[in-house]
Structure 1
Amino acid sequence: MTKPRATAIGFTAVLLWALLALFTVGSAPLPPLQLNAICFAIGGTIGVIWTAATGQLTTLRNIPLPALALGTIGLFGYHALYFAALRNAPPAQAGLIAYLWPLLIVLFSGLLPGERLRAGHLIGALAGFGGAALIIGGVNDVSSDYLLGYGLALACALTWSGYSVLSRRFGTVPTSVVTVFCLITAVLSVLLHLIFETTTAPAGAIGWFSVIALGLGPVGLAFYTWDIGVKKGDIQILGVASYAAPLLSTLVLVAVGIAEPTARLAFATALITGGAALAAAASLRQPKPVVPQDTPKG
């Protein structure tokens, strides 16, 4: 597979994640853990079918335990927090805070060996968090319920960015293992759902469609295409492209009438996406290592 093709495949994950907030809202009133369980069961089933069809089932037998733990914590933790955040705060605001993860990935990546944290990273971070603060300040009724939702959304961003950066340690692990991550996440979600939640049926055709769409796309196929992209494509291009997700997500919510197209929301969106792009640009300006040349023989 060529690098441009892998990059294009990875970018489809960004497009799918732009629909995450919309379908999550449509899946109400399902409780977060139940929604997690259904979606990841669908996503895991997609992986089993794909892995079997491509003759890669044997790759699922010897998954490194650290990679297994990281993948499970990343997928389960992020989405449980995300679904809970959108149940406890206005969808557009909570979604934008959760989408600070692209910016945090850039910042955390700058702390890795061989990387350098530049002024652009810090300025971008301030702009992004300024946008998040603007969103919180723009809520008319700042109740304890909203504050809980905002806190959960921020935890989402920290969880996914940490998972993404640490995943670089397991670049040789095949994409097929995402299947196991999804299935384990589904099982954990079922167990916790039975303990803490009351099982609820989706609300009509829209509810069922939203749940199935989540499992097939943003909480299913997207993880596999993203894995292919970051391992075989241009990671820098994909990193920059991921900053389009919060903007696209908000535009979708506005288009269907869930979010109000206010100037405050537009400015907050610009701050978050602009700050992330600035941080990404700083990363792209990193000096390339000097490759030593062979000394001519005299």
Structure 2
Amino acid sequence: MHPVHSPVVASPWYSIVAALVAVMLWSVAPLLAELAHTSSPLQLTALTLLAGALATLPLSRKVPTATLSRGWQLSVWLGVPLLIFGAVSSYFIGMRLAPAAEAALITYTWPVLFVLLSQWSRFGKLRMAGVIGALIAFSGAALLLLPQALSGGLGGATNGYALALLAACCWALYSWLGQTAPIALTPLLPRLLLIACAIAGCASLLVEGNFGVPDNEALLAGIALGLGPYGIAMVAWDKALRFGQASVVGSLAYGVPILAAILLVLAGMSVLDWRLPTAAALVIVGCLKAGYGGGHNHP
């Protein structure tokens, strides 16, 4: 889920179709994570990342990482896998502790966080459009939490929302590294996912205590998560941004939280009230404001 700068080519429909494939697959992620609820979250993370590594294997090719400075080598081979592990595991755990649709929506504030981070690293300051966009996006997230807070606290969901926000921060940092790294990360993605999978496996053994085979539904859902949202979707998104106009393609990603919420409601795993679509609209408007007004037209 990181940006790739590219020129526009003659056939924009190719990039739009590729972007829509990625968006649809990302939208299914919360539903698949709910179907895999019988698997422990760290075990599910390891399974998902392993399937993602296998799905992205055709992308793998040799990249001259030996020419990188020691700092960049550490960032690529340790920092990126840790961020992937942090993003995926926090997302899965957060969805166990808080309502899935709300947790997914909070996680998908990551594009506006990425815009702010990019502005700060590039210009040494935040642009007003980015700040306003962030305020709008986070007002949407706050709208989801306000009623519970006013009625006596968020209870156990507080940790879930915090972990969803942590997942958003991890994706934003991962995207920023993908943008600023002196080499393309996409050809390294299978190896980076495998390292992240190893980290998740060790964490599962240490924290959860066992690493048995999940039941059939959880196993299939975990494999589908890796093949789709964390495999094919990442490849499709890379192609969309390489062969299309980033401002057009990137704006499609802001539909993910709405589609994800609709799928959860249709599956009977979430209840629709006025707050969820209103919050989703605020998040999308905030991301668009930050992106188009702040000089970065894609997540």
Q: Give the TM bin, normalised by the shorter chain.
A: 0.7 to 0.9
TM-score (norm. length: structure 1): 0.83
Distance 1:220 1:130 in 2: 31
Gaps of at least 5 residues in structure 1 are 287-298
When residues 193 and 60 of structure 1 are mapped into structure 2, their CA distance, relative to the original with a 3 A threshold, is: farther
> Conserved in 2, the CA contact under 8 Å of 1:39 and 1:220?
no
SS state of the match for residue 112, structure 1? helix
Instruction: Assess if the C-alpha contact under 8 Å between 1:7 and 1:234 holds in 2.
Output: no
| Aligned amino acid, residue 270 of structure 1 | A
Q: Decide which of 136, 149, 153 is 2:160's aligned counterpart.
A: 149
Distance 2:180 2:154 in 1: 41
Query: Residues 141 and 15 (structure 1 numbering): CA distance in 2 closer, same or farther, change over 3 Å?
Result: farther
**Partner of 1:86 in structure 2?**
95
Label 1:119 to 1:233 Cα distance change in 2 as closer, same or farther (>3 A).
Answer: same
Q: Is the 8 A contact 1:126 1:275 kept in 2?
A: yes
Is residue 247 of structure 1 aligned with residue 258 of structure 2? yes
Q: Which residue of 1 aligns with 2:38?
A: 29
Q: When the two structures are aligned, how many residues end up with a matched partner?
A: 280
TM-score (norm 2): 0.83
Match of 2:55 in 1: 46
- Identity value in percent: 30
Measured after TM superposition, the shift of residue 208 of structure 1 is 3.2
Q: Does the aligned pair in 2 maintain the 1:171–1:231 contact within 8 Å?
A: no
Q: 1:108 to 1:230 in 2, by over 3 A?
A: farther
8 Å CA contact 2:178–2:185 kept in 1: the answer is: no
Q: Which deviates further from its counterpart, 180-189 or 231-240?
A: 231-240
Q: Is 2:105 the partner of 1:96?
A: yes
> 8 Å contact 1:43–1:220 — kept in the other structure?
yes
Equivalent position SS for 2:122: coil
Aligned counterparts of 2:296 and 2:160: Cα–Cα separation in 1: 36
Q: What's the C-alpha RMSD, in Å, of the aligned pairs?
A: 2.8
- Pairing partner for 1:16 from 25, 28, 32: 25
Partner secondary structure for residue 97 of structure 1:
helix
Distance (whole Å) between structure 1 residues aligned to residue 96 and residue 265 of structure 2:
18
- The alpha carbon displacement at 1:122 in A equals 2.0
| 2:115/2:296 contact within 8 Å kept | no
Give me the whole-angstrom Cα distance separating, in 1, the residues matched to 2:278 and 2:134. Answer: 16
Give the unaligned 5+ runs of structure 2: 1-5
Residue identity in the other structure for 1:252 = L
Residues 116-125 or 162-171, more deviating: 116-125
SS at match of 2:156: helix
How many angstroms does 1:111 deviate by?
1.9
